[in-house]
Amino acid sequence: MIYKRAHVFYSGRVQGVGFRFTAASIADDLGLSGWIRNLSDGRVESVCEGEEKKVKKFLDSIAGEFNRYIINADINWEPPAKEFKNFNITF
């Protein structure tokens, strides 16, 4: 099993549309760990770790759910740190 970590910055109209709560629900359903938060510049930042196919499904699900709001998703693949137990919304 290959583990991956995606560090993503979403831009567009991604705040105030249920983005973080939906992403957290998707991550929980897939058994992924990490966090998501709003940034002061209007973007949303997320770190998500888990089995590679599940992380990709997470990213695809967010893109599908919020395609009318997302202008850009800057995805950076990083080595997994396995530092999180679950997926949280941070403030």
The whole-number average pLDDT for the span 81-90 is 95
Give the predicted TM-score (pTM) of the model. 0.95
- The pLDDT tens digits of the residues spanning 33-83 come to 999 999 999 999 999 999 999 999 999 999 999 999 999 999 999 999 999
Burial 36-49 (b: 16+ CB within 10 A, else e): bebeeeebbebbbb
> Annotated catalytic residue: which of 38, 43, 72, 76?
38
**Model confidence at 9, in pLDDT bands (50, 70, 90)?**
very high
pLDDT score, position 91 = 85
Q: Which of 85, 90, 89 is nearest to 32 (CA)?
A: 85
- Bridge partners, residue 47, by sequence: 7, 35
Instruction: State yes or no: is 67 an active-site residue.
Output: no
Q: Enumerate the H helices of the chain as residue ranges.
A: 19-30, 52-65
What is the CATH code for 3-83?
Answer: 3.30.70.100
* N residues, the chain: 91
pLDDT score, position 72 = 98
Domain ranges of the chain: 3-83
The whole-number average pLDDT for the span 84-90 is 96
Instruction: State yes or no: is 38 an active-site residue.
Output: yes
Residue 36: CA atoms inside 13 Å, Cβ hemisphere, count?
28
> Annotated catalytic residue: which of 5, 13, 20, 88?
20
